[in-house]
Amino acid sequence: MLIALLACAVETEDAPWLVDTEPYVDGEVLVRVTGDDVAQMRVEEDHGVAEVERYDGIAVVKVGFEEERPVREVLDALTADVRVQFVEPNHLVRALGSPVNDPYVGYQWNLDAIGAPAAWSTSTGKGVTVAVIDTGVRPGGPDGITTLLPGYDYFNGDSNPTDGNGHGTFVAGTIAQKTGNGKGVAGIAPNAQILPVKVMGDDGAGDIAAIANGLVYATDSGARVVNLSLGSAYPSNTLESACRYAYDRGVTVVAASGNEYATSLSYPARYDSVIAVGSVGFGGSRAGYSNRGTGLDLVAPGGDLSKDENGDGYADGILQETIEGGAWTYTFWEGTSMAAPHVSAAAALLISAGASGPDEVYQLLTSTARDGGSAGYDTSYGHGRVDVAAALTALRSGGGSSGSTGSGEEPEMDSSGADTQAPTIRDVSGYTQGRKFTLQWVTDEPATTWVNFQDYGRYGDDVLTTAHALSLNGSRGRTYTFTLVSSDAAGNTAESSAYSISL
């Protein structure tokens, strides 16, 4: 179980605590004893516990005791017994990241198609702002967006970006619908923040000037990802400049390829600074309406309302909460507008997990995509269908390039051209499991992984990666104070402030 870093200070150390709040079953523990059944029986008698169930293949026994008796008390007593190889709580577990209580999630075939449930055990988009530049976003709803920021309306020139069309609300829900709340449907990056930027009216039409304004506003407001489920057949220097403005400042810009059955992409999807996304249906084949052509980067589920390939009784569109005719509803839509937010949400998951900017996001998504059509890159599927779980795995293994720094700036160099900027350590968290504790953090560039204990020195490794995790065994009842240390390939070293953990 992940444990939040608390702001309180330790009495003897100026360091926040990582508190053990692990969930487990009361009245029982799992134990392995050295010796035969007689030794097992004597240990149980000595500690006032009794066998509940035996797992012969692994020589583990579940023992029970009065539920009023603290589990920690039993763990401490058995841990101190030299006849016990190990003892641990019977931890409660859940299907990692699975929104099992969202009643309509079974109709969201698109989630499995991009590996979203598998990705949620690693990232949910926390800390990443995604700008939805669209018809606005309607607040509220029976299900709703997890975090909806204030935003702006460049279509009407005011600060009320409320959606009267439904398109922007649908797109925002695909990215960050509330998930696991027992209502409606799920989103792909449910803990990302949505910044609504209204650039089109309730009829779904807008102009280049408003979109360009929206791109600059989103960038300057801290968005790390921008979704553009919109397009035009005509190029625009103004719009291209706005996309480049965002990209140069570390923003991942994603756009729909268009729905004209054409052999060329719409703008802005066609620009080099933008990830262009086409649409596939349930079976993975390109949707007939989806524009293809040079510059197509990826495909993602956009749906096909003419088919029911999965046999669930509904046309194979993308299901989301939105408004139709002014009323809230759950509905199936199709289009590259529905495909693009899958990639925007995938980018948010990667950035939250440590990807440093648009270049690394692009490299991770394209290198791990599931190939479609002709072998390798082609103009109908691009690099393939996005697989965010595979992309996160590549990120954890150091498979991404350093790419952009995320701020649009190059690493600091001295007069000889050498990198002199240390990596940034952020998003520190941790969890405990019995006597083992795991620490996690990310850096804005590939760096090594070390924990520097106040009493024991450094433990870690020299693998260069942006997503860091280190597991160590400790002693129950002890408090450990430490800093986190990461060094980049050039030897520049960053060290965090002090933290403490108590077992």
Backbone angles phi, psi at 413, to 5 degrees: -125, 150
**Using DSSP, how many helices (H) and how many strands (E) does the chain show?**
10, 21
- Measured in degrees and rounded to the nearest 5, phi and psi for residue 355 equal -60, 140
Please give the Cα distance from 422 to 268 (Å, whole number). 35
Q: Which two tokens stand for residue 296?
A: 């197509």
C-beta separation of 395 from 367 below 8 A:
no
DSSP label at residue 368: H
Selected catalytic residue, list 20, 47, 123, 134: 134
Question: What is each CA distance from 126 to 9, 121, 194, in whole angstroms?
Answer: 25, 12, 11
How far, in Å, CA of 86 to CA of 300, rounded? 47
Told to judge if 337 belongs to the known catalytic residues of this protein, a careful annotator would answer yes
Q: Single out the catalytic residue among 167, 342, 383, 468.
A: 167
Place of tokens 């920021």: 149
d(CA 443, CA 493): 11
- Tokens at 357, concatenated: 């900017």
Of 331, 501, 335, 357, the C-alpha closest to 433 is 501
Q: Which of 257, 264, 273, 337 is catalytic?
A: 337
* Contact predicate 172/139, CB 8 Å: no
Measured in degrees and rounded to the nearest 5, phi and psi for residue 324 equal: -135, 125
Give the single-character DSSP code of 487: E
Let me know if 402 is a catalytic residue.
no
CB environment 407-417: b (16+ within 10 A), e (fewer)? ebeebeeeeee
AA identity, residue 236? S
Instruction: Give Cβ neighbours of residue 384 (< 8 Å, ≥ 6 apart).
Output: 298, 299, 366, 369, 370, 371, 372
Three-state SS letters, 419-484? ECCCCCEEEEEEEEECCEEEEEEEEEEEEEEEEEECCCEEEEEEEEEEEEEEEEECCCCCEEEEEE
- Which residues lie across from 233 on neighbouring strands? none
167 is an active site residue: yes
The rounded distance, in Å, linking the Cα atoms of 181 and 103 is 10
Strands 436-453 and 479-487: antiparallel
Q: Which residues are catalytic?
A: 134, 167, 337
